[in-house]
Amino acid sequence: MTVTARPGDPAITPALVAEHGLTSDEYDRLVAMLGRTPTFTELGIVSALWSEHCSYKHSRPLLKTLPTTAPYVLQGPGENAGVIAIGHGLAIAFKIESHNHPSAVEPYQGAATGVGGILRDVFTMGARPIALLNSLRFGSLDSARVRYLFAGCVKGIGDYGNCVGIPTVAGEVVFDPAYEGNPLVNAMCVGLLKEEELMLAVAQGVGNPIIAVGARTGRDGIHGASFASEDLSDASEAKRPRVQVGDPFTEKLLLEASLELIHSGHIVAIQDMGAAGLVSSSAEMAARGDVGVVIDTLKVPAREEGMSPYELLLSESQERMLVVARVGREDHVRAILEKWDLTAAVIGEVIAEPVYRVVEGDRVVAEFPGIRLVTDCPMYTPEARESDDIKRRRAENVHAIAERAEEANPMWTLLELLASPTIASKRWVYQQYDHTVRTGTVVGPGGDAAVVRIRHTDTAIALKTDCNGRYAFLDPREGARIAVAEAARNVACTGGRPMAITNNLNFGNPKRPEVYYQLKEAVAGMGEACLALGTPVTGGNVSLYNENPAGAVYPTPVVGMVGLIDSLAHVTRSHFSTDGDSIVLLGNNTDEIGASEYLQRIHNVVAGAPPHCDLAAERALIDALLQAIQAGVVRSAHDCADGGLAVALAECVMMDRATPTGAHVDLTHWAGLPVRALLFGEAQARVVVSTPDPDAVLASAAEHGVPAAIIGTVGAASGLLSMRIGERQLTVSVAELADTYHEAIPRIMQRSASAQDVALASDSVV
Amino acid sequence: MKFGIVTFPGSNGDYDAYQSVVEGLGEKAVYLWHKDHDLQHVDVVILPGGFSYGDYLRAGAIARFSPIMREVVAHAERGAPVLAICNGFQIACEAGLLPGALLRNASLKFVCAPVSLRVENASSNFTSAYGANQLITLPIAHGDGRYSADEETLDRLEGDGRVAFRYAPDALQAAESYNPNGSMRDIAGILNAGGNVLGMMPHPERAIDSVLGSADGLPIIESILHRVAA
C-alpha cells in the first residue's frame, strides 16, 4: 500500500530530523529501511522507538552479559516483568522502573506516574500487585529546591499507591549533592499469580482484534520517551508538559478490569501503553509475536478533537492498555470493561502481511516492513575510558585524613552519622505510604527488608531495593557487586533465601567515555555478583542521560531483590528485643574507611576505594545466617552497612522506637584497628545477630567458614549503648540515639517549612 | 451470620474486610457491588476503606448517591448493624448515617501508622468484647481523618456514650503526639443514636492476626457476632 503524507504535515528537513533526536546515521538507516523519505508520522514513531528509553541502544549489548536463568525463572528479561516460581503453583512477577526525568521537573506527577507505570507492567502479566517499593535519590536537604522535590515525590508516590490500594513496603532514600539537579525515582512492583495464569505480551492470531482499553488518549506526555533520553538543562522546565498526569482511581479500575480480562480467556495478549504509548506497545507486541499489525488512529478514543496520528501514536496519556483479543470475543471484552466504567475500542488487528502499518481511515500514514521498526534499531558500543579524576580519588590515602577535634569522642561521630538524612530513620517518608493495606505485610518499612506473606501458604517473600552510588562512583564494578550483595544480605537477615533481582541502571550520558566505562563496569560487577549469589536478573530498566550542566549523577545501579522465606516461623526482625540475648557479629571488621558515609559526613570527602566485596564470603555468610535462622536460634539479624558497626548496633537498640533496648559490647578483639575504622568503616559481609543460643550461631558460622564472635549482651535496664575497646569505654544513652535518628528528617523538613517551600509545594497539591 | 462488604469501584479495603470475617472468624461474607440494589439478605454491612469513586472531590461525597447506599441506609434505618471503616466512615457521614465530617489531617499528610486507642464505650454492639477503658493498638492509613462536628454534637455524642474509641497516649507514645490527625476531642470512632452504626478511622480488619503485629481488631467482629446472634 502507498504511504502518503498528510496534508499540513511539516516537510522532512535535517532540522526536523535533529529535533526528533535522530543522528544523521540513524536517519539514513531509516531511509534505507523504507526505501524512501519517511512521513512526519514515521519520523515521530522512529524517534520514540529508537530513543534510548525504548531501545536500550547503548546498554543492550552489555545487558546481554547478565545471568538470567535459574530453574525457577519462568520469565526473564524482555517482557513487561520478570516472573519466578515460589512453590505451591504460585509465582511472583516483579520489575523496577525509573521516572527520573519527569520527577526532576514535576516531582508529584513524575513520581506518581512512575508508580502507575510499574503497577501496569506487573498486572499485565496476570499478577495481582501485592507490594510496591522504591529507590529515591535527592541532593542535599539543605536546598529548598531539593526539599520541594523530595516532599513532592514522596507525596506523589504515596497518593498513587495508597489510592490503588497496594502497600508500599520498603525502599531506600539517599541524599547526596551528586543528585542535586537529577533526582532519581525508581519504583518497583511485586505481584502474585498462579503459574498457569501467566500472560505474555505477544501478539498472535491473524484476524484477532487489537483493542485500546482504559483512559482516552490526550495530548499529554507526547515525546516523554525522547525527553527521558537527553540530558536535563535549563530548558527542561519548559518541557514540563511532556510529563504525564496520573489518575490512580482509573488505574484501580484498569487493574481490576485487566485481571478479569486475563482470567476470562477472551484475550491473547495485553500490554501497558507506557513510554511512547500506542506505538511502542503495538510495535513491541507485534515484534514479540513476529506478526503484522494495522492500527487505525481514527478509531482511537481521543480526549479532544483533531488529534493527528502523530499525536495519538506518541501520546503518553496514563492508565491505558493495549489488548489483543480473540476474534469474536469483542463484546465479552467490552462487557468486562463496562462493568468497571471503562471504554474499549477496536483500533486495529493482527494481519498476515508482515508489516507494521498505521492508517488514518483510508490513508496509510506509516508503514514499516516486518518487525524491523523494532529489530533494526542501531546498537552502540561507545568508547569506555575511566575518568582520571575518579582514579585519583580512589587512590587517595584516606587513612591520612586527620581526625576532627570532636572525634576525640567517637559517640559524637556516631550521633553525627545517625543524623545524616541518608542513615536517619525514613519514617517521615514511609508514614505517608499505606503499608498495611491488603493485610500481607509481616515486616514493613524500616527494617532490613520487607516481608509479605503469601496467603494460604506458610511462606513469605522478602523484598529490598539497594545501592550505594558513592561506592559505584569510586569503583563501578565493586559498587555494583556490593549493591547485589547488600540486597541479598538484607533479604537473608529477614530469613529469606535470595532468589532473583530486577535492576535499574541510572547513569549519565553514555556518549561520554567515562560514563560508558561506569555502565560497562557496573554491569560486569552486577553479573559477577548475581552469578556468585545465585540471583539471576529477570528484567529491569536503564535510565541514561541523568545529568545536567553541573555534571552527571553518581552511577547508580539499583538492585531490587526478591527472596523466599520458607516458613513464617523464620521471619526475623532487625532490632534487639530480649534482655540477656547474646550479640554475635558474623563477618570480620577491617581497616576500610574509603567511600564511607563517615568520610562524606564528617570530612566532606568522597575518596578512597569502597570496601572490598568478597562474593564467596557473602554467599557463605548468607548460608550460615539462614541455617541459624531456620534452626530457630536467631532472635534478630541486622546488616552492617552505611555508617558501619556502630551505626548498626545503634539501630539494633532503637530502630523500633516503641520498644528500645540497650546493649553492652566489647570490641577489644579489634583494638588494633583505628577506632574510626572499627566503628564506622563499612567492611562488607557483616551481620549483627542477637540470639539466646550463641553457641549454635557460632557453630553455623564455623560450618560455613564464616568468622564469628560473641561481642556483647542485650540489656535494656541501663538505657545505654556502651562499647568497650581495650581500656576505652564509650557510652551513649539510647534515648539520645533514638531522638537523633528518628527526628533528623522531621526536624529538617519542619525547620524548612518556610514561605518558599510552601510556595513551591503548592504547585503540587492536587 | 452473613456479612456484606460493599465494593465501590475504588474500594481497596474490601478484600481485607472480607478476609477478616472469613479467615478471622470463619463466618460467611459476600461482596456487594456498588451498582446493585440487592443486599443479598446479609445481617451486617461493612463499608470498607479505599477511595470510593476516586474521592477527588470530597471523600465519600459521590458514594452516598450510589444504588447500594440507598439499601445500606434502609438497612441501618431498620436497626441492622453497619460497620463503617475509614473511607466507609467518611461515606457514612456524607450519607447522614453518622453526624459530623472527616476533614484533611491537621498535618496535611497521609498517615499510616499503628495508633493507640482507648475503648470509651465497652457495651455497644461493636465493642462489648473489649474491657472498659481498654487500650488497644490498631493501624490507621488515611489523609482525611480529622473528625469534626459542632460543639453541641460533640457534647451529645459524649453525653450519650456514643464515642466508641478515642486516640489515647500509651506509655510508649508519650514522646509523640498521640492524636494522629487532629480529630476534635481525640475522637477515633462514633456510634449512631441507635447504636447500630459504628464509624471509625482506624482499621480493625487489618488487625486480626498477630503475625501482622496486632489482633486487637478481632473483638469488634466478635462483639457483632455475640450481639446480633443473641
CB within 8 Å: B112 and A453: no
Determine the residue among A115, A252, A437, A764 to mutate to test chain B binding: the one whose Cβ has the most chain B Cβ atoms within 10 Å: A437
Cα–Cα distance, B208 to A635 (Å, whole number):
24
**B74 contact A CB<8A:** no
Determine the residue among B110, B172, B203, B205 to mutate to test chain A binding: the one whose Cβ has the most chain A Cβ atoms within 10 Å: B110
Q: Per residue in A337-364, pLDDT tens?
A: 999 999 999 999 999 999 999 999 999 9
Mean residue pLDDT across chain A: 94
Residue A757 has pLDDT above 60, yes or no: no
- Residue B2 pLDDT: 96
CB within 8 Å: A165 and B12: yes
- Residue A602 pLDDT: 98
Q: For strand A663-666 and strand A720-725, is the pairing parallel, antiparallel, or unpaired?
A: parallel
CB within 8 Å: B15 and A340: no
End-to-end Cα separation, chain B, in angstroms: 11
A83, β-bridge pairs: A75, A93
A417 contacts A597 by C-beta, under 8 angstroms: yes
- Residue B164 pLDDT: 98
CB within 8 Å: B12 and A164: yes
In the structure, what pLDDT confidence band is assigned to residue A24 with cuts at 50, 70 and 90?
very high
Q: Per residue in A172-192, pLDDT tens?
A: 999 999 999 899 999 999 999
Looking at beta carbons, which residues of chain B come within 8 Å of A430? 112
- Residue A229 pLDDT: 66
- Residue A428 pLDDT: 97
**B180 contact A CB<8A:** no
State the nearest Cα–Cα gap between A608 and chain B, in angstroms. 40
**B211 contact A CB<8A:** yes
CATH code for position B202: 3.40.50.880
**B205 contact A CB<8A:** yes
Count other C-beta atoms under 10 Å from residue A457's C-beta. Answer: 15
pTM of the model: 0.95
Q: Per residue in A629-667, pLDDT tens?
A: 999 999 999 999 999 999 999 999 999 998 999 999 999
User: Which residues neighbour A7 within 8 Å (Cβ) at sequence distance 6 or greater?
Assistant: none
Looking at beta carbons, which residues of chain B come within 8 Å of A440? 212
- Write the residue in B51, B55, B112 that is nearest to A431 by C-beta: B112
Q: Per residue in A47-98, pLDDT tens?
A: 999 988 888 999 999 999 999 999 999 999 989 999 999 999 999 999 999 9
CB within 8 Å: B16 and A437: yes
Residue A395 has pLDDT above 70, yes or no: yes
User: Which residues neighbour B77 within 8 Å (Cβ) at sequence distance 6 or greater?
Assistant: none
User: Which range marks the domain in which residue B119 is found?
Assistant: 2-229
Q: Per residue in A509-558, pLDDT tens?
A: 999 999 999 999 999 999 999 999 999 999 999 999 999 888 899 999 99
CB within 8 Å: A163 and B143: no
Q: Which of A271-285, A288-302, A679-693, B62-76 has the lowest average pLDDT?
A: A271-285
- Write the residue in A248, A252, A432 that is nearest to B110 by C-beta: A432
A446 contacts A430 by C-beta, under 8 angstroms: yes
Q: Which of A20, A58, A88, A99 is catalytic?
A: A99
Cα–Cα distance, A110 to A153 (Å, whole number):
7
* Residue whose C-alpha is closest to residue A561's, from A460, A443, A465: A465
Determine the residue among B12, B14, B55, B181 to mutate to test chain A binding: the one whose Cβ has the most chain A Cβ atoms within 10 Å: B12
Cα–Cα distance, A597 to A533 (Å, whole number):
26
State the nearest Cα–Cα gap between B112 and chain A, in angstroms. 5
User: Which residues neighbour A360 within 8 Å (Cβ) at sequence distance 6 or greater?
Assistant: A6, A296, A297, A298, A309
Q: For strand A460-466 and strand A355-360, is the pairing parallel, antiparallel, or unpaired?
A: unpaired
A99 is catalytic: yes
Looking at beta carbons, which residues of chain B come within 8 Å of A456? none
Q: Per residue in B180-229, pLDDT tens?
A: 999 999 999 999 999 999 999 999 999 999 999 899 999 999 999 887 76
Cα–Cα distance, A744 to A419 (Å, whole number):
5
In the structure, what pLDDT confidence band is assigned to residue B170 with cuts at 50, 70 and 90?
confident
In the structure, what pLDDT confidence band is assigned to residue B171 with cuts at 50, 70 and 90?
low
Q: Which residue of A has its CA nearest to B23?
A: A456
A266 is catalytic: no
- Residue B174 pLDDT: 53
Q: Chain A: which residues have CB within 8 Å of chain B?
A: 155, 158-159, 162-165, 247-250, 252-253, 256, 340-341, 430-442, 453, 568, 657-659
* Residue whose C-alpha is closest to residue A56's, from A543, A690, A409: A543
- Residue A238 pLDDT: 66
Looking at beta carbons, which residues of chain A come within 8 Å of B9? 249, 252-253, 256, 340-341
A234, three cell numbers: 535549563
Q: Per residue in A159-172, pLDDT tens?
A: 999 999 999 999 99
Looking at beta carbons, which residues of chain A come within 8 Å of B173? 658
CA B113 and chain centroid, separation: 16
Looking at beta carbons, which residues of chain B come within 8 Å of A155? 109-110
- Residue A147 pLDDT: 96
Looking at beta carbons, which residues of chain B come within 8 Å of A259? none
Q: Per residue in A222-276, pLDDT tens?
A: 776 666 667 777 667 666 666 778 889 999 999 999 999 999 999 999 999 887 8
User: Which residues neighbour A559 within 8 Å (Cβ) at sequence distance 6 or greater?
Assistant: A465, A466, A467, A483, A484, A487, A501, A502, A503, A526
Looking at beta carbons, which residues of chain B come within 8 Å of A453? 211
Determine the residue among A260, A439, A565, A740 to mutate to test chain B binding: the one whose Cβ has the most chain B Cβ atoms within 10 Å: A439
Q: Per residue in A558-572, pLDDT tens?
A: 999 999 999 999 999
Structural domains in chain B (count): 1
3-class DSSP string for A237-292: HHHHHHCCCCCHHHHHHHHHHHHHHHHHCCEEEEEECCCCHHHHHHHHHHHHHCCE
In the structure, what pLDDT confidence band is assigned to residue A463 with cuts at 50, 70 and 90?
very high
B94 contacts B61 by C-beta, under 8 angstroms: yes
Residue % of chain A over a pLDDT of 90 = 85
Estimate the crossing angle of helix A644-654 against helix A734-751, to 10 degrees.
Answer: 90
Q: Which of B34, B75, B86, B120 is catalytic?
A: B86
Sign of the four-CA dihedral A741, A747, A752, A757: positive
How far from B118 is each of A297, A712, B182, CA to CA, in Å?
60, 39, 16
* Residue whose C-alpha is closest to residue A12's, from A33, A49, A38: A38
CB within 8 Å: A163 and B51: yes
Q: Per residue in B7-34, pLDDT tens?
A: 999 999 999 999 999 988 899 999 999 9
In the structure, what pLDDT confidence band is assigned to residue A764 with cuts at 50, 70 and 90?
very low
Q: How many CB pairs under 8 A join A and B?
A: 88
Cα–Cα distance, A485 to A613 (Å, whole number):
8
State the nearest Cα–Cα gap between A130 and chain B, in angstroms. 12
B71 is catalytic: no
**B16 contact A CB<8A:** yes
What would the DSSP string read from start to end of A41-100?
HHHHHHHHHTSHHHH-TTTHHHHTTS----TTEEE-BTBSSEEEEEETTEEEEEEEEE-H
- What residue has cell string 508520522? A41
Averaged pLDDT, A373-381: 89
Q: For strand A663-666 and strand B197-200, is the pairing parallel, antiparallel, or unpaired?
A: unpaired
Question: Alpha helices of chain B — where are they, by DSSP H?
Answer: 14-25, 67-77, 87-94, 151-159, 218-229
Q: What is the DSSP letter of B196?
A: -
